[in-house]
Amino acid sequence: AQSVTQPDIHITVSEGASLELRCNYSYGATPYLFWYVQSPGQGLQLLLKYFSGDTLVQGIKGFEAEFKRSQSSFNLRKPSVHWSDAAEYFCAVGVPMFSGGYNKLIFGAGTRLAVHP
């Protein structure tokens, strides 16, 4: 069965420090992978996506993620964290529900990021 694991429930970093959020997935075929960010009480905003091609993908707000098939991972990184990055981050794998492309997202439980000034 498809699944997504985000091993870190909470992470705290200092402003200006680098960040890496881990994501591991279980899926039998080539995955479509996503990272979303959720501010408190808000919906989810897409940060970046991986469909195919270059395994290092760039997203909004200075985030990037690297797809590593051998490790079944899609870790999110940012070189220098800003206080406004404090939020919850969700990794998701897209699973085709019917012909024509993916439609169902399997989400991890999320990683809550706190940023110290």
Partner 1 sequence: SQTIHQWPATLVQPVGSPLSLECTVEGTSNPNLYWYRQAAGRGLQLLFYSVGIGQISSEVPQNLSASRPQDRQFILSSKKLLLSDSGFYLCAWSVSGNQPQHFGDGTRLSIL
Q: Which residues are near partner 1 by CB under 8 A? A: 4, 9, 32, 34, 36, 41-46, 49, 51, 90, 94, 97-98, 100-105, 107-110
Q: How far is the CB of 67 from partner 1 (least distance, A)?
A: 15
Give the E-state strand segments of the chain in sequence order.
3-5, 10-14, 19-21, 24-26, 32-38, 44-50, 56-58, 64-68, 73-78, 87-98, 101-107, 111-116
Contacts of residue 71, defined as CB under 8 A and 6 or more positions apart, other chains included, come to 24
Closest approach of Cβ 6 to partner 1, in Å? Answer: 8
Give me the least distance between CB of 16 and partner 1, in Å please: 28
Between residues 7 and 79, which has the closer beta carbon with respect to partner 1? 7
Burial 93-102 (b: 16+ CB within 10 A, else e): bbbeeeeeee
30 or 71, CB closer to partner 1?
30
Please report how close the Cβ of residue 44 comes to partner 1 at its closest, in angstroms: 4
